[in-house]
Amino acid sequence: NSVPLLVSFGLYPEIKPAECIEVGNTSWLASTVESSVSHEFTVKNNCTTQSGIPVNLPNLLAKLNWNSQKLGNVELNIFDGETLMGNEIIREGAFTGVIGGKVLENGKEYRGIASFTPRTGAQGELASFGIEFGSSTDSNPNDLEAKAIENISGNFSIIDLRSCITFNPGPQEGIVVDENETTANYEIIIGNCGTAVDVSFCGNGIDLCRGGTNEGGILVEPWTYTNLKEGDIKTVKVSRIKGGIPGFYGITVDAKPTGSENVTMVAELEVVIEPETYSSGNRQSWFTIDKYEFNLPGFGTIDSATLTNKIVTEKVDVTATLCSWENTRHGNWASNVKWWYGGPFFGVTWIISMFGNYKNGGKTCDDFEFTETLADYIINLTGKSIVNDDKEVDPISGEETAELAEVPPDAIDITVDIQGIQAKWNLEEYTINLPEDQEDTEESNGIETVGVLFENTGGVPNQASAYGIVTFKATEHIHGNESHIGNGDVFCENENFAPYNIGPSEEEGSCDAVNSMYEQKIHTRFRFADISQNIPPIRDEVYECSMGTLEGRTGAGILPKTRLNWNWTQGDSIEWNTCDASNPDAIYCDATQFTIMMMKRLKLYDNFLAANVNLVCPYTIDDLRQVITESNLETSTNAVLSEYIGGTEISVDLTGNNADVYFEFYNNTESDIDATVAILIYRNNEIVNQCEKELASTAGSYDSINCEFTLEKNGVYTARGIVVGTLEQTDRASLSYSFIHVSPGTETECLAPRTLGSGNLGITDFVAATPNINWTNEVSSEDKLRSIVVFDALLMKDAFTEDFAADFADYYENRAFFDASSFFTQDGYSNALREGRIKFRRKYVDSSELAAPGKYAISIIAALTNANRLIGANGETNGPITITFKHVDFPSEDSIFYTIPFNGMVGSDGVNFTRQGYGIDYINETTPITIDRAQTPSITGASTSESNALLKSNTYLGSDFYELNLNLEQRGKIFIVNKESNKKIDFKFFPAIVTPVIMKVSKQDSDKNYFSVVYSYRNNDGGIIDVGESSSYFTGMNACLNFDGSDLKDYFFETPDGKATEDDALDFEGKYSMNWENAPLNGNVYLKTLYYTKPGQGISIKSESPNLLIYSMDNSGNIVPLSGISGMHYNDASKGSEGRILSIEDTFRLVKDQLVCVKNEGTQSTFFWNPEKIEFFEGTERSMAGFESTLIPGATCIGN
């Protein structure tokens, strides 16, 4: 008997139905693609046997099917939870394993990410493809037992509008409509977008570019352009709105392919509208601020501005009865105050008090009204006296004078219409000046400057920046003339008025003046995070470059203005003007670099002082006496008017402590007059003595009086003579004679201050008074001397804490003493810094942390020691040397590196960092990254647990062959800096050697359709290296044809290879192949690629097929080392450390040499090899581009 027997062999039972792999989120659509685009999906194994038993799948395979022309590559990443199972580039027309042989468990959902990277030259194309999934239970990947129910479908427009549309000037450089102008222009430049584009501004003008505010706006002409093509250059005219709100505006630029509805915001063009030219009649020109954009990146951060008030004071014609004048409680103000409306004011109160002794036709003092022109404040924000500080101290005695009284501040409050921002005045640091101190007094009402502070109090909008209206409110004093054009005009009811005290309240004279609230609005932008950057236009030392569709720039002009060294004397050291904005080669400095510069700057000043020990005092007591004598010539004599009685001459004879004052007067009338004559003695604007006599003055005669006074104190005195007859006959001229009383032997004492600083540069006065100054190389003029102390600097965002100062002094004294200038360690400078006698402080803010990167106004405020030095041998100073910072502007072309204050190795023990409040803390995932090539290089050493720097950085040093060559997001990139937040930044550094390789594939057997070549990767010992499912991307060369007769570049355009199989070689394990399913033609095919390898790794590529020849730029044959290109900077393995990238500084050097490109995007900077320059670089044997140019279709390669 026979028994039927069915025998089956295999690990897996038959799967039914075959379509059992569930793929979720299969529709992948994108309107535009820049450098790459990603898509998340899910994969779930729902496969079972025919009887319904769940089955685990041994792998997951994927294949790429192009529906359009091949336009790029697709990489798949599969995750089990957060664990990466595998990532591979999937090939066209052939299934590739994507989870490395791992099992796809039944019923479990896996997460996938697909990334599409367009190829070079794909701009303007439409990409369409499908991703097919499956699983094979045997060794044949194309024999699928399980398939996807539905596969992924991808469709894209490949347009990088942010790169192909540029602007002049650049968006961050911006334009300014200044106070005298109404318009300014941008240019929009259309590059290779691959299609015509439409561009609109501020949503076609829907909100006048207000940026979300309810007020303000600007005009843009036109609001839109359509059908723009490559090479088009169009003008964008920007205009102020008459009577509008000045300030900072952003013009959003939206672009789309013509005919498309998919709009992309490509830029925001910055515009500053300055307030119109000042006029007292133009109320919106009264206040100005020195900047309109502020940086508030986190809770508690503060930024500041200087507000200038241009309408401080005005003339006021004050009318009051003689009784009010007589009873004024302000005593002698009328004769005390020297102000800008005509010098010493006549002593009217004396006239009135003496007038009371006379009969005047039965009338009382209430029957007479008297008008004088006084001064009062319109807006005095601080309430401080308008008399300057240097006028408030007697130069001889040093005592304060009887100054004008302070008044209540007119500053009310400041409002901001953005949640989470609080604004307030800083009225402690101020200036206030008379109109006579201004250059143009024709239309001037005095100048006052104060600080304005903005603080992030939490809850700000969750966006990089926001626009807001800032409203400044203050009390405005109106003296009968609301326009403030010409004099005010008031009548005062009581005696309490006085200069700078004229108002409606009883304490101000009950005048018919009005106090009103003045408001001025400014349109501002507040930054809460780094702003997105646009690709800059091509210009001098800035050149185009790209890798795939990753558009960047290269050349010295694209590099951030920084320097990765912190040297005093070695190499490209920090000099006295390295951070000085007036230096055309200035860089943005971190705290360490700036402090090195400032130490050298202080030393330059001290060197100048040492070379000029005999500076002449510019102002002695004798000099003051001469000035007073010249002034007396104008004030001590007078020609009395006809029909008046008045003084003609006053003089003083000094003998020891006694002053004999002679006063002469003249009765220039035709009648005798009973007159009262007085001599008043003032010291520091206060009456200290007086004498008074009554005389019968004969018509047409001269009379005089003498009074002797004892002078009790040193100081400047003034004798003033007054004569009063009847009110109608008194010449109101007041004669005065000033003189100095000093102790014997002090006549030559110097009165000039030996100080330096923003408000009082006393030392420059000494220089101006000294003949034959010994100028030094760096200090060669008075202007240079002044610019050492007051200048603008370019600074990174960093801080100058007390811990920083101590760490700085310790590092350069004890660790880098061989490099530090000897004066710092030996001449007391390090002591002064460490012990807090050199201080750093922001103006208006009690903080040493800078608000933002940018330009800062710097002032050094200090006094000289008794030895006429800034710093003594042991670090002694005459009070603190204070270095103040005031943020003026953001960088015109921003860079993420301006917020990365490396600070070298300051704050470290040589390996680990402990920093408090400044610089960066490092958390290294791998070994530390080297920053520079100094003799003792700076590294991203680990930070201790006690460290608390401004910024935290995660660092990663990559060297894996897969991530260098096959990861589409990483391939060809050297350095990626990504700022996750204002407090956290990531560094990824891939310092690879790049080797161009050419493969010559020859075929002579026309009978064989399937054709392949095999190659392997070998280490120094000859062992095979398995680098993954693929090893590189290959592109066809020249206009040659493929073995199937098609255009070679259509078949091979950045196409990945694959693992070799038994179809390619008997010993295929660990090897790679290039294969053709249909290869009827014979001849040569040339393919090219770039390999990126870890320096020193010693990898070679070896041909395993007789019909494969391999070329590098320095070698050719069956085996070629991947060792870079001979003679290329940092890319020549034969040169040891000089032939490899060691540091971030090396990457910058390669950008300068145009071998590396950079793309800046505000929160990320990416540095990548420049393929064009690599291909054209000549090795010892060839360049890739040169080799390709020799290929002739039909001769050296397959052709028609």
Which string of DSSP letters, residue by residue, matches 649-705?
Answer: EEEEEEETTEEEEEEEEEEESSS-EEEEEEEEEEETTEEEEEEEEEEEEPTT-EEEE
Terminal C-alpha separation, the chain: 69
Contacts of 131 (CB under 8 A, 6+ apart): 62, 63, 64, 65, 74, 76, 90, 114, 151, 152, 154
Which of 443-447, 640-644, 971-975 has the least mean pLDDT? Answer: 443-447
723 neighbors 647 (Cβ within 8 angstroms): yes
Could you write out the DSSP letters of every residue in 547-564? ETTEEEEESGGGS-S--S
Q: Are residues 118 and 230 in the same domain?
A: no
Burial class of residue 886 in the structure, from the number of CB atoms within 10 Å of its CB (0-12 exposed, 13-18 middle, 19+ buried): buried
**What letter would DSSP give residue 1170?**
-
| 353 pLDDT more than 60 | no
Mean pLDDT of 701-710: 94
**pLDDT tier at 350, thresholds 50, 70, 90:** very low
Q: Are residues 640 and 667 in the same domain?
A: yes
**534 assigned to some structural domain:** no
Higher pLDDT, 387 or 581: 581
Q: Are residues 355 and 467 in the same domain?
A: yes
Could you write out the DSSP letters of every residue in 228-290? E-TT-EEEEEEEEPTT---EEEEEEEEEEETT----EEEEEEEEEEPPPPP-TT-GGGSEEES
State the pLDDT at residue 745.
Answer: 64
500 neighbors 376 (Cβ within 8 angstroms): yes
Which of 46-60, 386-400, 801-815, 1104-1118 has the least mean pLDDT? Answer: 386-400
Contacts of 1135 (CB under 8 A, 6+ apart): none
732 neighbors 710 (Cβ within 8 angstroms): no
Q: How many CA within 13 A on the CB side of residue 862? A: 29
State the pLDDT at residue 437.
Answer: 57
State the pLDDT at residue 331.
Answer: 40
| 395 pLDDT more than 70 | no
| Residue-wise burial string across 992-1001, b where 16 or more C-beta atoms lie within 10 A, e elsewhere | bbbbbbbbbb
Task: Single out the residue in 876, 893, 910 at which a domain terminates.
Answer: 893
Task: Single out the residue in 158, 187, 206 at which a domain terminates.
Answer: 158
pLDDT, tens digit, for every residue of 15-27? 888 899 999 999 9
| 333 pLDDT more than 50 | no
Higher pLDDT, 289 or 622: 289
Report the run of H or E that residue 1152 belongs to, with start and end.
helix 1144-1152
**246 assigned to some structural domain:** yes
pLDDT, tens digit, for every residue of 807-824? 999 999 998 888 899 999
Q: Are residues 723 and 771 in the same domain?
A: no
**952 assigned to some structural domain:** no
d(CA 81, CA 60): 16
State the pLDDT at residue 439.
Answer: 53
Could you write out the DSSP letters of every residue in 825-862? HHSSHHHHHHTTSEEEEETTSS--B-SSSEEEEEEEEE
**52 assigned to some structural domain:** yes
User: Is residue 170 helix, strand or coil?
Assistant: coil
Q: Are residues 320 and 449 in the same domain?
A: yes
Give the max Cα distance, the chain. Answer: 173
Q: Are residues 125 and 168 in the same domain?
A: no
Q: Are residues 592 and 639 in the same domain?
A: no
Q: Are residues 101 and 75 in the same domain?
A: yes
**pLDDT tier at 50, thresholds 50, 70, 90:** confident
Tokens representing 746?
């002090």
State the pLDDT at residue 625.
Answer: 87
| 459 pLDDT more than 80 | yes
Instruction: Give the residue numbers spanning the domain of 179.
Output: 162-274
**pLDDT tier at 726, thresholds 50, 70, 90:** low
Mean pLDDT of 494-514: 92
State the pLDDT at residue 86.
Answer: 87
Report the run of H or E that residue 883 belongs to, with start and end.
strand 878-889
734: CATH: 2.60.40.2360
State the pLDDT at residue 900.
Answer: 95
d(CA 1151, CA 1129): 11
Q: Are residues 716 and 688 in the same domain?
A: yes
Please tell me the total count of domains within the chain.
Answer: 6
Please state, rounded to an integer, the average pLDDT across all residues of the chain.
Answer: 88
Task: Single out the residue in 115, 137, 158 at which a domain terminates.
Answer: 158
258: CATH: 2.60.40.10
Residue 1129: count other Cβ atoms within 10 Å of its Cβ.
18
Comparing CA positions, the residue from 929, 903, 926 lying closest to residue 916 is: 903
Q: Are residues 458 and 499 in the same domain?
A: yes
| Residue-wise burial string across 31-70, b where 16 or more C-beta atoms lie within 10 A, e elsewhere | bbbbbbbebebebbbebbeeeeeebebbbbbbbbeeeeeb
Report the run of H or E that residue 488 belongs to, with start and end.
strand 488-491
State the pLDDT at residue 994.
Answer: 97
Q: What is the CA radius of gyration of the chain?
A: 42
Please list the residues that pair with 649 across neighbouring strands.
Answer: 637, 664
**625 assigned to some structural domain:** no
**549 assigned to some structural domain:** no
Tally of helices (H runs) and strands (E runs) in the chain: 17, 64
**597 assigned to some structural domain:** yes
d(CA 90, CA 871): 69
Could you write out the DSSP letters of every residue in 331-374? TTHHHH-EETTTEEPP-HHHHHHHHTTS--TT--GGG-EEEEEE
Distance of alpha carbon 326 from the chain centroid:
60
d(CA 973, CA 35): 12
Backbone φ and ψ of 172, nearest 5°:
-85, -20
d(CA 633, CA 965): 90
Please list the residues that pair with 375 across neighbouring strands.
Answer: 315
CA dist list (Å): 1063 to 59, 140, 1073, 1074: 21, 11, 10, 12
**pLDDT tier at 349, thresholds 50, 70, 90:** very low
Burial class of residue 428 in the structure, from the number of CB atoms within 10 Å of its CB (0-12 exposed, 13-18 middle, 19+ buried): exposed
938 neighbors 904 (Cβ within 8 angstroms): yes
Residue with tokens 């008045």: 646
d(CA 58, CA 134): 11
User: Is residue 607 helix, strand or coil?
Assistant: helix
pLDDT, tens digit, for every residue of 138-172? 767 777 889 999 999 998 878 878 888 999 998 98
**What letter would DSSP give residue 899?**
G
Contacts of 896 (CB under 8 A, 6+ apart): 530, 977, 979, 985, 1160, 1162, 1163, 1164, 1165
Specify whether the backbone of 854 is left (phi greater than 0), alpha (psi in -120 to 50) or beta.
Answer: left
Check the CA dihedral 1171-1175-1177-1179 and report its sign.
positive
Q: How many CA within 13 A on the CB side of residue 259? A: 3
**417 assigned to some structural domain:** yes
d(CA 631, CA 907): 60
1193 neighbors 1040 (Cβ within 8 angstroms): yes
d(CA 1157, CA 1170): 6
Most confident region among 15-29, 237-251, 613-627, 761-775 by mean pLDDT: 237-251
CA dist list (Å): 730 to 107, 151, 327, 618, 847: 114, 109, 20, 43, 60
| 721 pLDDT more than 60 | yes
State the pLDDT at residue 330.
Answer: 46
| Residue-wise burial string across 171-180, b where 16 or more C-beta atoms lie within 10 A, e elsewhere | bbbbbebeee
User: Is residue 747 helix, strand or coil?
Assistant: coil
State the pLDDT at residue 634.
Answer: 87
State the pLDDT at residue 11.
Answer: 55
Q: Are residues 140 and 168 in the same domain?
A: no
State the pLDDT at residue 340.
Answer: 28
Could you write out the DSSP letters of every residue in 67-131? SSS--EEEEEEEEETTEEEEEEEPBBTB-EESSTT--B-BT-EEEEEEEEEEPTT-TT-EEEEEE
Residue with tokens 């700076």: 938
Q: Are residues 430 and 321 in the same domain?
A: yes
Backbone φ and ψ of 664, nearest 5°:
-110, 140
